[in-house]
Amino acid sequence: MQNPVVTPAEAVEREPVFSYQGRVWRRFWRNPMTIAGVLGLVFLVLLSFVGPLFYPVNPIQPHLTAVLQPPSAQFPLGTDGLGRDELARLMVGGQSSLIVGFAAAIVAMAFGTVYGMVAALSNKWLDSLLMRIVDILLSIPSLFVLLFLDSVFQPSVLLMVFIIASTSWLGVARLVRAEVLSIKTRTYVEAAQSIGAGTWRIMRIYLIPNFLGTVLVAVTFGIADAIITVATLSFLGLGLPPPAPNWGGDLATAMSYMYQNSWWLIYPPGLAILLAELSINFLGDALRQAFDTRL
């Protein structure tokens, strides 16, 4: 019995055909960095939001008889200089860090996308005016803006989201504007305009799907930057007010005991910040490679 001969044309016809979104999705999940990033991020989310349900210890409750205790059965990650449980503080502190990071990136993406699209689709003088505003704001050091807003208002999670988003949307706006200016001159967009397609239809069908990948990649890296910014402000004493736990604030407190060999105060929050940064950057790189049609 002879095997049937398959011509090259038939072989091509038998290959599964995927849409652009399907190809992006397949490339994303086949990337080893995706698996590493997802595993790291899932671990941090479970640690921060599910962990306190199984380890219901008050993170601000001092134990005066157990000050600076190393890890033990009673305190798995030891205690700080006030006798507070480090594991409980690591878990609860991760909530504020992750919430602020993701929320600030989403707000920056939403506002920056709308702003950039309005600028790109407006007439020349309005586009120039809107982008000059962005250029002026970008010329101001972001750290100065963060320190100024943080010193004027009472620190809170909502304020931290607003402060970080207020400086992060500028880059998104410039990116979206550049993408829209490039896309709207393509033949299929001009053809849609010639047959009477409205602005909203062109935005929904032609513009947003074509620049969404670029924005998602930028926002993913923005989440990592926001988490670092929260940790930096807290490390400088300008973040969430004590005794509220957060990774940056706990790391700053640990530096006071660095010469007392209290390693359990430094490594857990530091490694948590490092893991969050690596995981999100892995996902950002995987998204960038998935959307890159040249790969």
Each domain of the chain, given as residue ranges in start order, spans 37-47+84-292
pTM: 0.82
Lowest mean pLDDT among 138-142, 167-171, 258-262: 258-262
Q: What does the pLDDT average to over 248-254?
A: 85
Judge contact between 283 and 218, C-beta under 8 A: no
Q: What does the pLDDT average to over 115-143?
A: 88
The per-residue pLDDT for 50 is: 94
- Please work out, in degrees rounded to the nearest 5, the angle formed at the alpha carbon of residue 70 by the alpha carbons of 262 and 267: 50
Residues 178-190: pLDDT tens digits?
988 888 878 877 7
The per-residue pLDDT for 45 is: 94
Question: Residue 3: is its pLDDT beyond 80?
Answer: no
Residues 165-178: pLDDT tens digits?
888 899 899 999 99
The per-residue pLDDT for 44 is: 94
Average pLDDT, the chain: 84
Question: Residue 280: is its pLDDT beyond 90?
Answer: yes
The per-residue pLDDT for 1 is: 46
Confidence of residue 9 (pLDDT cuts 50, 70, 90): very low
* CATH superfamily ID and name for 37-47+84-292: MetI-like (1.10.3720.10)
Question: Residue 143: is its pLDDT beyond 80?
Answer: no
The per-residue pLDDT for 52 is: 92
Q: Cα–Cα distances in Å, from 178 out to 112, 131, 259?
A: 12, 11, 51
Output the six-digit token pair for 66: 């157990």
The per-residue pLDDT for 51 is: 92
Confidence of residue 7 (pLDDT cuts 50, 70, 90): low
Residues 16-55: pLDDT tens digits?
445 667 788 888 888 899 999 999 999 999 999 999 999 9
The per-residue pLDDT for 12 is: 40
More confident residue, 274 or 153: 274
Q: What percent of the chain has pLDDT over 70?
A: 92
Question: Residue 286: is its pLDDT beyond 70?
Answer: yes
The per-residue pLDDT for 5 is: 53
Burial-class residue 227 by CB neighbours within 10 Å (0-12, 13-18, 19+). Answer: buried
Question: Residue 157: is its pLDDT beyond 60?
Answer: yes
The per-residue pLDDT for 19 is: 67
The per-residue pLDDT for 4 is: 54
Handedness of CA 159, 164, 167, 172 (dihedral sign): negative
Q: What residues contact 23, with CB distance under 8 A and at least 6 apart? A: none
The per-residue pLDDT for 15 is: 41
The per-residue pLDDT for 17 is: 45
Least Cα distance to 157 among 101, 110, 106 occurs for 101
Least Cα distance to 220 among 152, 134, 283 occurs for 283
The per-residue pLDDT for 214 is: 84
Q: What does the pLDDT average to over 267-281?
A: 92
Question: Residue 75: is its pLDDT beyond 80?
Answer: yes
What whole-number distance in Å separates Cα of residue 254 and Cα of residue 224?
23
